[in-house]
Each structure stands twice: as structure tokens, then as C-alpha cells.
Amino acid sequence: MREVNVSEISETIARLSQEANYFLPEDVLAALQSGRQAEESATGQAILDEILENQQIARTEQAPICQDTGLAVVFIDIGQDVHLVGGDLREAVNEGVRKGYTEGYLRKSVVFPPVRGKNTNDNTPAILHLNIVPGDKIHIVVAPKGGGSENMSALKMMVPADGLDGVRRFVLETVSKGGSNPCPPVIVGVGIGGNFEHVAYLAKKALLRPVGQYNALPEIADLEKELLGKINQLGIGPMGLGGKVTALWCAVEVAPRHIASFPVAVNIQCHAARHKEAVI
């Protein structure tokens, strides 16, 4: 059994909260650069140039990529041979977010209660997804999620008869409805299967998969390619002003489902596709 003090988790989350907001992941950056090459609309090209310049300024000056520094979504895989000491894990996670957002002067975007709420003033609580895995390591991902793209996400409880055609229709309809609101070019995370709450988690997890890495299941990889092609034929383009680069990537995660249900979730991620990870 390996002992880990939860203060180490707080420190790591504080650092990742800031790094995620300052440094766009390399795979997303490469996708934006390829998108710039592929885009034919002059307006779209100009917008992509600005997005690329903006992320470079953020990287150099260690300033947020976007004013919406997001709700902190934290994924932790804890090895079952880890013994956590020094306090409560959930509080340690929130302490990390509090420290990262406060010391990094990142915008505090959380209100509570949700109806007529007041700002909690430290961007807590985080949304925490915990998973117990084999081993003695702790894998942490911090993914600040902006409100504009989250608002354009959707979930549908389809029936099995809707099948893959239903999935295609729902994904395209959701991206189409989003239009310029999620600050395209977007990354589209799709969950298929599981149940009501699990399918939303799958769609969120899909957003963490590196751009360019297809699903290991060949038929799902084919669906990812097909969906990305069709999304980019919608003509929404960079920031919704028209063009062929509406999405940089589409990732689909799947899980077993009930014979009577066919849940599908679409989680839209804006071009500021921020996430950073660390292993303790």
C-alpha cells in the first residue's frame, strides 16, 4: 500500500488548473493549424489566425486563453493500492481548484444555489469524476469547461430502432443548432450506450481523447470519420461565420446498454479545448 497525502493532490490540481487555462494542448494546436490550411473562406482563415495568435499570447504571457476559464471538471483515477492520508479527498480537490483559480487570477464562474445563485468566489466546487483502478498511482486530469459550448450540448434517450441513423441525425442536429454559440471550430464528444447519466459521462470523456486518435473499435472509428466529415459539410465554419472547418475532431465513446434503450449524448467543446493531466 502506497501512502499519498491529499495535499499533494491539491497542489497538483492547483498547478493543472492554471496550466490548462494558459497552454492549449499540442494536439489541439496542431488541429487548429491543419484547420487553417484546410479552411477556404477568407473570414474563416482570418478567425483561425486570430485563434492561433491568441493561444500563442496566452502561452507566452501565461494568461488565460479565454475569459471564460470554465467550471473545473476533474477526473481522478486512483489506484486501489493507494492509501490517502491527510484529509478528505473531495475537499483536497476543491482546495486545489480554489488555490489555482485564486492565485492564477482566473475568472470564478460558479454560482450556488443554481437559481438566483451567488458566486462562490473561488470557482468551487469542482465536478469530480472518481474511478478506482488497479495499481498504486493517481492519474489526474483537470478540464476547465466553458459555459458557451456546454450549453450547446444535448442528450437523447433514443430507442434501439433509431439505430445509427438516429445517432447521425442527433449529432448533426445538435451541432447545427449550436451554430456560432460554442465558438467553433469545435470538438464533438459523443457517448453512445450506458444509461441516462453514464452516456453524458461518456461524451465528456470522449473530449479528453487526443485529437487524431480514433476509437479502438473499427466500426466506431468509421462512425467518427463519417460524423466529422458530415459536421464539416454543415458550413458553420470558424466562429459560425461560414466555412468548412466547423469541427476539428469528433470522438465517440461507447458502453453496453439496456436492450430497450439507446442513449446518446453530444458534448460540444469549443476551440479552447483545455485539459492538463499529471500522475502522482
Looking only at the bridges linking them, the beta strands covering 2-5 and 82-85 are parallel
Query: Of the two residues 55 and 94, which places its CB atom closer to ligand SF4 in the complex?
Result: 55
Would you count residue 267 as binding ligand SF4 (CB under 6 A)?
no
Kindly compute the dihedral angle of the four CA atoms of residues 201, 206, 112, 14, in this order, to the nearest 10 degrees: 120
Residue for grid cell 447521425: 168
Q: Quick one: which segment of 85-93, 140-148, 162-170, 198-206 binds ligand SF4 (CB under 6 A)? A: 140-148
Distance CA 64, CA 72 (A): 14
Residues 98-137, one symbol each (x = binds ligand SF4 by CB under 6 A, - = not), give ----------------------------------------
Q: Are 210 and 31 in contact (CB under 8 A)?
A: no
Would you count residue 146 as binding ligand SF4 (CB under 6 A)?
yes
Residues 7-36, one symbol each (x = binds ligand SF4 by CB under 6 A, - = not), give ------------------------------
Choose which of 39, 68, 95, 253 interacts with ligand SF4 (CB under 6 A).
Answer: 68
Query: Of the two residues 55 and 215, which places its CB atom closer to ligand SF4 in the complex?
Result: 55
Taking the complex as a whole, the smallest distance from the CB of residue 42 to ligand SF4 amounts, in Å, to 22
Q: Quick one: which segment of 120-128, 144-152, 223-231, 243-251 binds ligand SF4 (CB under 6 A)? A: 144-152
Distance CA 163, CA 177 (A): 21
Taking the complex as a whole, the smallest distance from the CB of residue 157 to ligand SF4 amounts, in Å, to 26
Q: Are 71 and 145 in contact (CB under 8 A)?
A: yes
Q: Quick one: which segment of 102-110, 112-120, 147-155, 216-224 binds ligand SF4 (CB under 6 A)? A: 147-155
Would you count residue 39 as binding ligand SF4 (CB under 6 A)?
no
Would you count residue 148 as binding ligand SF4 (CB under 6 A)?
yes
Taking the complex as a whole, the smallest distance from the CB of residue 171 to ligand SF4 amounts, in Å, to 18
Strand positions, DSSP E, the chain: 2-5, 71-79, 82-85, 111-112, 118-119, 127-133, 138-145, 154-158, 186-194, 247-257, 262-269, 276-279
Question: What residues have CB less than 8 Å from 70, skipping those under 6 apart?
Answer: 21, 109, 143, 144, 145, 146, 147, 274
What is the residue type of 137?
Answer: K
- Adjacent-strand bridge partners of 83: 3
Would you count residue 238 as binding ligand SF4 (CB under 6 A)?
no
Q: Are 139 and 77 in contact (CB under 8 A)?
A: yes
Kindly compute the dihedral angle of the four CA atoms of residues 269, 64, 19, 187, in this order, to the nearest 10 degrees: 10
Nearest residue (beta carbon) to ligand SF4: 146
Taking the complex as a whole, the smallest distance from the CB of residue 109 to ligand SF4 amounts, in Å, to 9
Contacting residues toward ligand SF4, per CB under 6 A? 66, 68, 146-149, 182-183, 270, 272
